[in-house]
Amino acid sequence: MRRRRFLTPRGAGALVAALCCVIGANLVASPILLYIGLLLALLTAFSAVMVRVPRRSGSVTRQISTDLLTVSETSRVTVRFALRSLRIPHALWHDVLPDAVSGDSGGEYPSETGQLSYRITGVRRGVWPIGPLILRTVDPFGLAQREQEFGETRTVTVVPEVLALAPLAVRVGAAGGTAHTSSTRLGQGADNLSPRLYNPGDSMRRIHWRATAHRGHLMVRQEEEESSPDAVVVLDRSGAHWAAAHDDADDAFEAAVSMCASAAIHLSEEGYGVDVIDSAGMLLGTLRGHEDDRDGLLVALALISPRGDARDVATLIGGTPPGPLVYVTGHLDEDDASRLRPSGAAAAMLLTTHPEPGAIASAERNGWSVATLGDDITAAWEQALPERIGVGHVPL
């Protein structure tokens, strides 16, 4: 943060004028110029003492209306500033904001409402500091100024933008079980239990006494497999597929992160259990219908950056093919596309920010529904849906 000079431009001009008057008085032997020069110098010194001598201390607390700030979302910051001083000055205040957050975080002090507030808008994802609060006072003559910092900084987490997406063309389990994944969950309550006749060798601890009393025969509990549609979203953040890291944000990678968040949350809202992983196999988040799961995923995506290498899809998803599989990547050449296989996923969608010639055709031959990911994330998603490319049956 650039600090202001101690003297205002007017104060600096007054000192220069005072020096010129003193020099001119010696050259032309004019006492009046000497008096004017001394008066300007004394006035500037008096102004400096007025703004520098008073001792001030204060405390700052900030409250942000939203715990997580989404990119392009607006939130309100309320600042409670308690200044302890012999005299409450009329001054200007402003909260220091990072470049990743925009807002008009300044005003007059003291305010009419007794508290300071302003709106901020998320510009770039990440965890950023807000503060400290700067109080700027100027003497009545406008010759000297003082800037003083108060309070600690407060962090704000800017998470990727989540967009509403079109529903999937093929839902897992909708076609007579052809696109159906299941996970075996045994002994998790009465919903997945069905009684059957007792067979010699069955454990007595499995006897279903209520069914036995109802039917008049010895019945035992039989666990059944529960149908559980699962989805996997993979964010390829391997360094080879993205631009070299630099201070400015990579728009393509930001779009990929936003697509990853949007796709995962959209699939969760459609009833899927969603696992979100990166291309190295690290789990970024799981969505199982809990609000905390959503927030945890968004925070993880707020901190993510390109690094590492990519592993093949079969290794990432394990032995059980998921229902929908969404793979988001950056630069994709024909060789990479030929090695990228959906590994039996019921609905495999590939979104790439920079496909090279031949890459899309090679990926489609492997069973992917492919779309180029640009600025319009919702349009790219709709293009990647199987129905958009005339696929009547989702390839396995």
Q: β-strands 68-70, 226-227: how paired?
A: unpaired
pLDDT tens, N- to C-terminus, the chain (396 residues)? 556 678 888 999 999 999 999 999 989 888 999 999 999 999 999 998 988 888 889 999 999 998 899 999 999 999 999 888 877 788 999 999 999 999 999 988 887 777 889 999 999 999 999 999 999 999 989 999 999 999 999 999 999 999 999 998 554 443 333 334 444 333 333 344 567 787 776 766 677 777 777 777 787 776 544 444 689 999 999 988 998 766 567 899 999 999 999 999 999 998 899 999 999 999 999 998 787 899 999 999 999 999 888 888 888 887 777 889 999 999 999 999 999 999 888 889 999 999 999 999 999 999 999 999 999 999 999 999 975 433 433 333
| Interatomic CA distance for residues 20 and 41, integer angstroms | 11
Q: Which long-range contacts link 26-32 to residues 24+ away (Cβ below 8 Å)?
A: none
Which tokens is 346 given? 């019921």
> Which residue carries 């630069």 as its tokens?
331
Specify the DSSP element, H or E, that contains 106.
Answer: strand 106-109
Which tokens is 159 given? 């998470």
DSSP 8-class letter at 13: H
- Candidates 77, 94, 83; CA nearest to 147 is 94
Residues in the chain: 396
Residue 134 has what pLDDT? 93
| Interatomic CA distance for residues 146 and 297, integer angstroms | 44
| Interatomic CA distance for residues 81 and 107, integer angstroms | 13
Residue spans of the domains in the chain: they are: 9-52, 56-159, 186-224, 230-389
Q: Please name the residues in contact with 135: beta carbons below 8 A apart, sequence gap of 6 or more.
A: 56, 58, 83, 89, 91, 92, 93, 109, 147, 148, 150
Specify the DSSP element, H or E, that contains 93.
Answer: strand 91-95
Which tokens is 23 given? 């020099």
Q: What is the pTM of this model?
A: 0.76
Q: Which amino acid is at 368?
A: W
> Which residue carries 């001598």 as its tokens?
53
DSSP string, 319-379: SS--SEEEEEEEEE-HHHHHH---TT-SEEEEEEEEEPTTHHHHHHHTT-EEEE--S-HHH
| Interatomic CA distance for residues 224 and 236, integer angstroms | 36
User: Mapping DSSP to helix (H, G, I), strand (E, B) and coil, where does residue 26 land?
Assistant: helix
**Is domain 230-389 annotated with CATH 3.50.50.60?**
no
- The answer to whether the beta carbons of residues 376 and 262 sit under 8 Å apart is no
Which tokens is 312 given? 């093949």
| Interatomic CA distance for residues 325 and 312, integer angstroms | 13
Phi, psi of 367 (to 5 degrees): 105, 10
Other Cβ atoms closer than 10 A to 312: 12
Other Cβ atoms closer than 10 A to 361: 13
Architecture of domain 56-159 in CATH?
A: Sandwich (2.60)
- Candidates 178, 193, 179; CA nearest to 231 is 179
